[in-house]
Amino acid sequence: MKTGLGIEELGFSTGAQKSGGFAFASIPNPQSSILSLNVLILAFCFCLPSLAHAGAQAQEALSASVQAVLQRAVSDQAVPKHAFATQGQADVWLAEMSQRLVKRIPDREDREDFLTTVHYEATRAGLDPHLVLGLIEVESGFRKYAVSNAGARGYMQVMPFWTRALHAPEHDLFHLRTNLRYGCTILRYYLDIEKGNLYRALGRYNGSLGKAEYPNLVKAAWHKHWAAPQRTAGSQSGPAS
């Protein structure tokens, strides 16, 4: 089962919202039991204020139902070896993406662990892993211990209030899997709020809803540096649990 959308399916489809030269299509909810579109949309009843800092998701009061959904989504579960349909697909993808990332993360073991975790967590949340790589490039430059002026942490620049909001203050946002799981879960949450509108969801993630700069930066990084390898662009990933 394919849960994420490839770049050719998402980037420039007819009728997509355009801003600054890029087109943003909608990303459908993967209908997973972890993230329920209906629960999130019905429970969310107000808009977030715009902020200027990268990674500065705005803190909000979460209803009990939303808290429960998000708590399940960030629960500590081990990452399997990969989330591809076959080992061959995993090997091809890892080889190509690892080559692109070598200057950012020189150690091969660390690099492959990072890429495997990105692919799994993105797929689990119904996101394109290549979109997530573009977001990480813009947010942290692939720096594990990056901290923004607003206090956002790690690869995906997650704000610390999320661990408190989800009653998990012990979660370490500098931990690879924890950071990626929170980041992917938050972006999926914002996509659900925005009914699949990627442009607006990215604005919420960055705290700059309605402004074109951040969504366009992510889109540019995604297309320029992290487009799906041609040999695997048409392949489908297996389901993530």
- CA-based nearest residue to 100, from 227, 237, 238: 227
Contact 37, 29 (CB under 8 A): yes
User: Integer distance in angstroms from the first to the last C-alpha of the chain?
Assistant: 11
pLDDT in tens, the chain (241 residues): 333 433 333 332 323 444 444 455 556 555 444 444 333 333 433 333 333 335 676 666 665 666 666 777 677 566 556 677 788 888 999 999 999 999 999 999 999 999 999 999 999 899 999 999 999 999 999 999 999 999 999 999 999 999 998 888 999 999 999 999 999 999 999 999 999 999 999 999 999 999 999 999 999 999 999 999 876 555 544 444 4
Domain 34-225, CATH: 1.10.530
Q: Write out the DSSP string of 76-138.
A: -----S--BSSHHHHHHHHHHHHHHHTTTS--HHHHHHHHHHHHHHHHHTT--HHHHHHHHHH
What's the pLDDT at 133? 98
- Distance, CA of 56 to CA of 121 (rounded, Å): 21
The rounded Cα 155 to chain-centroid distance in angstroms is 11
What's the pLDDT at 199? 96
Q: Give residue 120's identity as a one-letter amino acid code.
A: Y
- Inter-axis angle of helices 129-140 and 176-193, nearest 10: 110
What's the pLDDT at 167? 85
| CA 199, 163, 139, 47 torsion-angle sign | positive
Tokens linked to 129:
């892993």
Quickly count helices (H) and strands (E) in the chain: 10, 2
What's the pLDDT at 77? 63
What's the pLDDT at 67? 62
Cα dihedral angle (103, 109, 115, 120), rounded to 10 degrees?
Answer: -170
What's the pLDDT at 23? 56
- CA-based nearest residue to 143, from 101, 182, 112, 181: 101
What's the pLDDT at 10? 35
Q: Give residue 182's identity as a one-letter amino acid code.
A: Y
